[in-house]
């Protein structure tokens, strides 16, 4: 456990550690508990981030952020007393770790508690895309009944050849769920895992050439930037389905749009995008795409558990105890 820097400004007697909160925790109970335990400056409320940093930056010791928002070097450098960054989410690719390491700042995230819900959504997107659930919903609402489904028949979800790029917690949870569909499962990662019996491929291109459905379940960051490129999409082919519940940055979005538009890729089901909340207009008009607004972990139960883990990590750090889910 990192030894706390005693040169940092001490909190005033009876005053809880000061924390800058970049994004509101959901549900309200989680935010209320965080506010009850710490002195919170909420950047999502007036007067906003710049004013809060200007007034309180010298004494802020903790930062609560999200995987998407992260913490850039400029913000970290503006908080000279910062000791802890706790991420409300799993992804930490938006954290500037060079700035973190220069300062010896601790970083935590919230793994495990969101695994099941993200995997559930991945399966939901798979079903929606194969059975054309969203298309059927739009048809019924438009008074067309099943007419739009006649030109593009839904496919069965059963017995498909499925590839998973990444076989960490979420990848394994997706694979477990696919077993009930009698799927032929394969995966790729940097090297084969001794505890995984599924067929192994060394790279996404060879995996995509093997499978009909490709799930993306890898972290974001420089190491996976546009990992799913035109070569992978071409290998997946006109009958293939891409399901992404990881990070939008992992997919070359321009190549994906071109592949879908030309029907060189059969379909896509996407919960994440390269520039959220901005979704390319081309994706919005395509019928062979299912879109959701980055809601993999967005359930009451999971968000509450994530919020509680944020609080528990902050409690542990400022109480001088070992962090529960330390990243750095």
Active site residues: 247, 276, 294
Q: How far apart are CA 259 and CA 167, in angstroms?
A: 26
- DSSP line for 176-217: HHHGGGT-EEEEE-SS--TT--SEEESSHHHHHHH-SEEEE-
CA distance readout (Å), 38 to 15, 185, 308: 8, 46, 13
Identify the sign of the CA torsion 207, 283, 157, 91. Answer: positive
Burial of 234 (0-12, 13-18, 19+ CB in 10 A): middle
Q: How far apart are CA 103 and CA 96, in angstroms?
A: 11
17 touches 61 (CB < 8 A): yes
Return the number of other C-beta atoms located less than 10 Å from residue 5's C-beta: 11
């Amino acid at each position: 456990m990192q030894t706390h820097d005693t040169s940092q400004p001490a909190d005033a007697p009876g005053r809880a550690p000061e924390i800058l909160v970049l994004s509101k925790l959901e549900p309200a109970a989680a935010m209320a508990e965080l506010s009850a335990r710490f002195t919170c400056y909420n950047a999502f409320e007036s007067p906003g981030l710049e004013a809060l940093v200007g007034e309180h930056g010298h004494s802020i010791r903790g930062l609560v952020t999200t995987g998407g928002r992260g913490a850039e070097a400029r913000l970290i450098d503006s908080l000279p007393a910062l000791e802890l960054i706790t991420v409300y989410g799993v992804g930490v690719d938006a954290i500037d770790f060079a700035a973190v390491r220069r300062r010896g700042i601790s970083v935590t995230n919230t793994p495990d508690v969101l695994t099941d819900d993200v995997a559930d959504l991945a399966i939901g997107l798979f079903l929606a895309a194969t059975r054309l659930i969203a298309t059927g919903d739009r048809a019924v609402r438009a008074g067309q009944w099943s007419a739009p489904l006649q030109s593009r028949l839904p496919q069965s979800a059963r017995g498909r050849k499925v590839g998973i790029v990444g076989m960490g917690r979420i990848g394994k949870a997706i694979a477990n769920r696919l077993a009930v569909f009698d799927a032929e499962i394969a995966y790729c990662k940097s090297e084969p895992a001794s505890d995984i019996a599924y067929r192994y491929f060394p790279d996404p291109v060879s995996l995509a050439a093997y499978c009909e459905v490709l799930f993306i379940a890898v972290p974001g960051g420089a190491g996976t930037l546009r990992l799913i490129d035109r070569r992978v999409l071409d290998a997946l082919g006109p009958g293939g389905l891409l399901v992404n519940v990881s990070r939008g940055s992992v997919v070359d979005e321009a190549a994906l749009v071109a592949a879908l538009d030309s029907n060189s890729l059969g379909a896509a089901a996407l919960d994440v995008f390269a520039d959220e909340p901005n979704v390319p207009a081309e994706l919005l008009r395509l019928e062979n795409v299912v879109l959701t607004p980055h809601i993999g972990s967005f359930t009451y139960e999971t968000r509450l558990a994530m919020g509680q883990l944020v609080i528990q990590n902050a409690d542990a750090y400022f109480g001088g105890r070992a962090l529960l889910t330390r990243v750095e």
